[in-house]
Structure 1
Amino acid sequence: MNPELAGKVYPPTEPYLVGREKIREFAHAVQATNPVHFDVAAANEAGYDDLVAPPTFTIVVQQRGLDQLLADESAGIELTRVVHGDQRFAFERPIVAGDELTVQFKVAGVRALGGNAMVTTEADIFDAAGEKVAASFATLVVGGDS
């Protein structure tokens, strides 16, 4: 893992249009049962314009930023040596169907630890108006050469 990547900011991703069926599929997969994830009328009654994504849906959007890092040849990351160490989210508002979201992905830090690299990342997620919707923070453990 290239330690010089610390601080690198990748270009914003192409927009991701959040669809109702994607929300429903994700909610089903993570066993989220709140009707606001499945029923537009329930979401409207709760004060939302459309279906509400479960909080961890953020990972679907964040992945587009992470893909930039994994594709970056200068990073020196071999995917088979990566373990997900930590994940946190911070929200300005819920993600709802119809949102068109982009990700600004950053390698916040790279630290050597016992022959491995601890890579911390930040992914800021913005809507089509440029308003911040959420942030995702992750730690990846990248194994060293055996």
Structure 2
Amino acid sequence: MALDQSFIGRTYPPSPPYEVSREKIREFADAVGEPGEIHRDPEAAKAAGYVDVIAPPTFAILISMKANEVLVMDPELGLDYTRVVHGDQTFVHHRPIVAGDRLVVTTHVDAINSRMGNDIVSVRAELATESGEQVTTARSTLVARGTATEEQA
């Protein structure tokens, strides 16, 4: 079943706050093989000019993907997640994610296209502090394999 084109331009309400902890940053840095002390040691981070440890650049995926569930699980969209592959991911960091941040995510559907029998959804997740300071813009492309109808393809 093809995806509902009326979702293009849809914006979901901000997610509940995600509190960034030192431990989560350390675990993520370990998982991705990031050896930098600014991701583990508050004193090293302060010496580098940060208020606390900072997250590796791809840490934003933890927060943005969780927030994108509001779109992925929306039954009105018609997305069969068992057919989805992650096509692309980019981040634009307005500032580093820092331990102690309380981040909310607003999810936007920027485009839905069909190519070669696949539906392609472009999603933008805007990560900001609770007070509204922009932190990261995460863009992802989700490809629903074999879901586009013949007239769309």
Global fold match (TM > 0.5) = yes
2:108 to 106, 109, 114: 106
Of stretches 120-129 and 99-108 in structure 1, the one that deviates more from structure 2 is: 120-129
How far did 1:145 drift?
4.3
Corresponding letter in the other structure for 2:11: V
CA distance, structure 1, for counterparts of residue 147 and residue 72 of structure 2 = 17
How many angstroms apart in 2 are the aligned matches of 1:19 and 1:78? 33
**Aligned counterparts of 2:66 and 2:10: Cα–Cα separation in 1:** 16
Partner-residue secondary structure (3-state), 1:57: helix
Structure 1 residues without counterparts, runs of 5 or longer? none
Q: Distance in 2 between matches of 1:121 and 1:92?
A: 18
Aligned to 1:115: 117
Match of 2:76 in 1: 74
Structure 1: 4+ residue segments shifted above 3 A: none
1:1-146 pair list within 5 angstroms: 1-145=3-147
RMSD over aligned Cα atoms: 1.2
Give the superposition deviation at 1:128.
2.1
Question: C-alpha offsets along residues 52-91 of structure 1, whole Å, 9 cap, x if unaligned?
Answer: 0000000011013211011200111111100001000001
Q: Check conservation: 1:13, 1:64, Cα contact below 8 A.
A: no
TM-score (structure 2 length as normaliser)? 0.92
